[in-house]
Amino acid sequence: MTAGARTPLPTLAVVGATGAVGTVMCDLLSSRKNVWGEIRLIASSRSAGRTLSVRGGQVTVQALAPEVFDGVDVAMFDVPDEVSAEWAPIAVARGAVAVDNSGAFRMDPDVPLVVPEINPEQVRNRPKGIVANANCTTLAMIVAVAPLHREYGLRELVLASYQAVSGAGQIGVDTLHDQLAKVAGDRTLGSRPGNVRQAIGDESGPFPAPLALNVVPWAGSLKDAGWSSEELKMRNESRKILGLPDLKVSATCVRVPVVTGHSIAVHAVFGSEVDAESAREALRNAPGVILVDDPAAGEFPMPIDAVGTDPSWVGRIRRSLDDPRALDLFVTGDNLRKGAALNTAQIAELLAVEFTGR
């Protein structure tokens, strides 16, 4: 390269480009600052040949194969765990840094779990050439909790999540709409035992029980001692992201009849006395956070407002009535954006800076 020549922009691959999160990713690539040269869209063989719009142009989807990673600098993966576990190391072997949105590598001690607003420096600590993205519920919550941890020193979290059906993929969204169509107009439903189940029939889709006119206190798969995988993710990932291996975390994950937007009720205990107004000020100035906290005006963080936006929306901030070191708050965020596509894109952009030196 001649003196003074510009470093070429790095090449990006999006693996799982035709999925729900991959589609959001393509939208983000078109709306965020352009730090990429070539963009390759990759999916399963059944989606190969489709064209998707990226940055105002049409890009043809390629079938997943080892050679598609040749010349790629950063590969973003939004595919099932088993696919990432197989293909992310292949991408690395072909010269790419893999940014993985699945759960395959999150708790691997040789893979950093990065939230750019919290621990961006960890992106350089990647002995396996892989950087992991956190679970969507953890991400919505942790962006709001981290500024409070910096202010007061976090000691304990008690969490209750209210998770949208899109967290289960398109089948979850379709299942909820189908159930709502079945119960619409019948005002007797929910007033007698079993009549909601009778109206919906066997259309529970990926959920263990009907969601229309209901909430289901379960998300994920069954693990030891009755805990669900989603609940353990919130505990283990919070510890790793914040660098607090002994942090006490107890979570109950609940599925609710919301299309998009995971919400979390947070009880946070700190090492020093807290003040609600000081906490609001810390959150007001925190990156990736919108403060919506005026109960007198009916202003709360809700998924119907957060959907389609990037930040975590935070409100209902109260100092505990029983413990001057504890705060209660409510957080909501779009699980397909910050909870998946956006955080992955932000990690990739940190890597792009490495390649360009900009």
pLDDT of residue 6: 59
Q: What is the CATH number of domain 138-335?
A: 3.30.360.10
pLDDT of residue 22: 87
Strand order across the beta sheet in which 312-319 lies: 248-255, 154-163, 262-270, 326-333, 312-319, 289-291
Asked if residue 135 lies in contact with residue 235, where contact means CB atoms within 8 angstroms, the answer is no
Question: Which are the catalytic amino acids?
Answer: 136, 262
> What is d(CA 251, CA 266) in angstroms, rounded to the nearest whole number?
9
- How far lies 30's CA from each of 9, 11, 20, 108, 148, in Å? 16, 15, 16, 32, 33
pLDDT of residue 357: 72
Residues in the chain where the model's pLDDT stays below 50: 1-3
Reported as a single tens digit per residue, the pLDDT across 232-274 is 999 999 999 999 999 999 999 999 999 999 999 999 999 999 9
> Which CATH topology does 12-133+340-356 take?
Rossmann fold (3.40.50)
Q: Is 296 exposed, middle or buried (0-12, 13-18, 19+ CB in 10 A)?
A: exposed
How far does CA 156 lie from the centroid of its chain? 22
Please name the residue that has the structure tokens 């950093």. 112
Best CA proximity match to 134, nearest among 104, 107, 113: 113
From-to residues of CATH 3.30.360.10 in the chain: 138-335
